[in-house]
Amino acid sequence: MTGIRVRFAPSPTGELHVGGVRTALFNWFFTRNHGGKMILRIDDTDRQRSSPEYLESILTSLKWLELDWDEGPEVGGKYGPYFQSERLNIYNDEAQKLIDSKKAYYCFCTPEELQAEREINLRKGQPPRYSGKCRQLSPQEIKDKKAHKNFVIRLLSPETGQTVVEDIIRGTVVFENNIFDDFIIIKSDGLPTYNFASVVDDFYMKISHVIRAEEHLSNTPRQQIIAEQLGYKLPSYAHVPMILAPDHSKLSKRHGATSVQEYKEMGVLPEALINYLALLGWSPGDDRELMSINEMTDLFSLDKVSKNPAIYDLKKLIWLNGNYLRTMKLDVIVQKALPFFKNSDELSDVVHSYREDDFKKILEKVIDLVRDRVKTLRELVEASGYFFRDDFTYDEKGVKKHFSKKNAGEILAKVYRTLKDVEPYQPEQIKNALGELSQTLNLSMGRINLPTRLAVTGRTMGPDLFEVITFLGREKTLERIKKAKELFTSS
Residue positions annotated with a catalytic role: 253
Nearer to ligand GLU, 198 or 224 (CB): 198
* CB 317 to ligand GLU: min, Å: 22
* CB 337 to ligand GLU: min, Å: 33
Nearer to ligand GLU, 238 or 469 (CB): 238
Nearer to ligand GLU, 196 or 403 (CB): 196
Q: Are 402 and 446 a contacting pair, CB within 8 Å?
A: no
Q: Phi first, then psi: give them for residue 107, nearest 5 degrees.
A: -125, 125
Q: Are 347 and 339 a contacting pair, CB within 8 Å?
A: no
Q: Which stretch binds ligand GLU (CB under 6 A): 3-11, 90-98, 170-178, 424-432?
A: 3-11
CA angle (206, 203, 236) in 5-degree steps: 75
For 14-64, the DSSP string reads S--BHHHHHHHHHHHHHHHHTT-EEEE-B----TTT--HHHHHHHHHHHHH
Binding characters for ligand GLU, 195-214, by CB under 6 A (x = yes)? ---x-------------x--
Nearer to ligand GLU, 232 or 354 (CB): 232
* CB 220 to ligand GLU: min, Å: 9
The string over 289-312, giving b where at least 16 C-beta atoms fall within 10 Å of a residue's C-beta and e elsewhere, is eebebeebbebbebeebeeebbbb
342 lines the binding site for ligand GLU (CB under 6 A)? no
Q: Which stretch binds ligand GLU (CB under 6 A): 8-16, 330-338, 363-371, 469-477?
A: 8-16
Q: Are 265 and 13 a contacting pair, CB within 8 Å?
A: no
> What are the DSSP E strand ranges found in 280-377?
310-311
* CB 332 to ligand GLU: min, Å: 32
Q: Which stretch binds ligand GLU (CB under 6 A): 9-17, 147-155, 292-300, 356-364?
A: 9-17
CA angle (149, 153, 159) in 5-degree steps: 125
* CB 51 to ligand GLU: min, Å: 15
* CB 94 to ligand GLU: min, Å: 17
Q: Phi first, then psi: give them for residue 206, nearest 5 degrees.
A: 55, 45
- Which is nearest to 325 in space by CA: 334, 316, 315? 334
Q: Are 207 and 39 a contacting pair, CB within 8 Å?
A: yes
Phi/psi-derived region of residue 132, left when phi > 0, alpha when psi is between -120 and 50, beta in every other case? left
| Torsion sign, CA atoms 251, 253, 259, 263 | negative
9 lines the binding site for ligand GLU (CB under 6 A)? yes
Number of residues that bind ligand GLU (CB under 6 A): 7
43 lines the binding site for ligand GLU (CB under 6 A)? yes
216 lines the binding site for ligand GLU (CB under 6 A)? yes
Nearer to ligand GLU, 220 or 457 (CB): 220
* CB 472 to ligand GLU: min, Å: 52
Q: Are 243 and 280 a contacting pair, CB within 8 Å?
A: yes
* CB 37 to ligand GLU: min, Å: 16
Q: Which stretch binds ligand GLU (CB under 6 A): 4-12, 104-112, 253-261, 314-322?
A: 4-12
Binding characters for ligand GLU, 225-264, by CB under 6 A (x = yes)? ----------------------------------------
Q: Which stretch binds ligand GLU (CB under 6 A): 6-14, 299-307, 329-337, 466-474?
A: 6-14
22 lines the binding site for ligand GLU (CB under 6 A)? no
State yes or no: cis peptide before 424, omega within 30 of 0: yes
Nearer to ligand GLU, 11 or 193 (CB): 11
Nearer to ligand GLU, 198 or 208 (CB): 198
State CA 102 to chain mean position distance: 45
| Cα separation, 155 vs 105, whole angstroms | 7
* CB 13 to ligand GLU: min, Å: 8
| Cα separation, 77 vs 65, whole angstroms | 22
Nearer to ligand GLU, 34 or 216 (CB): 216
DSSP, res 485:
H
- Which is nearest to 250 in space by CA: 54, 27, 26, 18? 18
Q: Which stretch binds ligand GLU (CB under 6 A): 7-15, 60-68, 367-375, 481-489?
A: 7-15
Nearer to ligand GLU, 240 or 434 (CB): 240
Binding characters for ligand GLU, 169-198, by CB under 6 A (x = yes)? -----------------------------x
Residue 248's Cβ-count burial label (10 Å; 0-12, 13-18, 19+) is: exposed
Nearer to ligand GLU, 302 or 411 (CB): 302
DSSP, res 282:
B
* CB 111 to ligand GLU: min, Å: 25
* 3-class SS of residue 332: helix
Question: What are the residues binding ligand GLU (CB under 6 A)?
Answer: 9-11, 43, 198, 212, 216
